[in-house]
Structure 1
Amino acid sequence: MSTHLILSSVIFVSIAFILVGVFLLTKYLGPNNTQDKLKNTVYESGVSNPVGTTNIRFSIKFYLVAIGFLLFDVEIIFMFPWAVNIVDLGYAGLVKMFIFIGLLFAGLIYMYKKKALSWD
């Protein structure tokens, strides 16, 4: 058995024991105020007595808009380094970026045709 394997195993096990110990210490040594009823009540945007239940269903439109935003916002991560290095990349980099933007535009058209962007 390699000494590196033994050393890494000892480090891994010791970190696991330290984490378990810290969690147990915070559970037993930390404050435990279960009698304070005001602290455990619901407070929502200045309203201490909310109306309705918390088990309501959200429309899938919220999730579609969020996923669409993430998909089209991530393109900035790829476009910024391209814009910085446009001179070094030349025409090949320009063609590749147009292909990338074309694919994103095709995705936008797909979302539009599926009516994911229309809000009823």
Structure 2
Amino acid sequence: MQSDQLNYLPILMQFLLAVGFVVGTIIVSGKLGPKRNSEIKDKNFECGVESVGNARIPFSVKYFLVAILFVLFDVEVIFLYPWAINFKELGMEGMVKMVIFMLLLLVGFFYIIKKKALVWE
């Protein structure tokens, strides 16, 4: 049991080092960085064009829906990669589980199509 826990020690150390580096960088940059604010520095600047009007205009919820569906199906496709790498070792049981997983993906996809979530009107 003890040796199993020691196997995770490098992962824990790397995680703590990464978090420590991020927190340290934020603290040091906040302490050492310049603090001269002005009206010009606080203005939004994009592509060399001055902002005109209010940037907070409403836009269609369809964009959010498409983005969420993309992330959902993209993450599900990522689960296919370990299966493809270990295809031979998993045998028939792994194949059956992946077929069930793919069928669930297809059911979700056809549900989205039936609800016309991707139809732009």
TM-score (normalised: structure 2)? 0.67
Q: % of aligned pairs identical?
A: 50
Measured after TM superposition, the shift of residue 76 of structure 1 is 2.5
Q: 1:40 to 1:87 in 2, by over 3 A?
A: same
- Offset at residue 92 of structure 1 (A): 1.5
Which letter maps to 1:51? V
Offset at 1:75? 1.7
Aligned amino acid, residue 89 of structure 1: L
Pairing partner for 2:34 from 15, 31, 34: 31
Runs of 4+ in 1 over 6 A off after TM superposition: none
Counterpart of 2:48 in structure 1 is 46
> How far has the Cα of 1:97 moved from its partner?
0.6
Relative to structure 1, the CA distance from residue 84 to residue 66 in structure 2 (aligned partners, 3 Å threshold; closer, same or farther) is: same
Gaps of 5+ in 2: 1-22
C-alpha displacement of 1:30: 3.9
**Structure 1 length as normaliser, TM-score?**
0.68
TM-align CA RMSD: 2.4
Q: Report how far residue 112 of structure 1 moved.
A: 1.0
- Displacement of 1:59: 1.2
In the other structure, the counterpart of 1:55 is 56
Larger Rg: 1
CA deviation profile, 1:9-64 (whole Å, cap 9, x unmatched): xxxxxxxxxx8xx85x936x6422123x322222123311x233122122111111
Per-residue deviation at 1:119?
Answer: 2.1
Question: 5 Å matches for 1:1-120?
Answer: 26=30, 30-35=33-38, 37-48=39-50, 50-120=51-121
State the shift of 1:98 in Å.
0.9
AA partner of residue 31 (structure 1): P
Q: Distance in 1 between matches of 2:116 and 2:48?
A: 36
Q: Aligned partners of 1:115 and 1:96: how far apart in 2?
A: 29
Structure 1 alignment gaps of length 5 or more: 1-18
Which one-letter code corresponds to 2:85 in the other structure? V
Q: How many pairs are equivalent?
A: 97
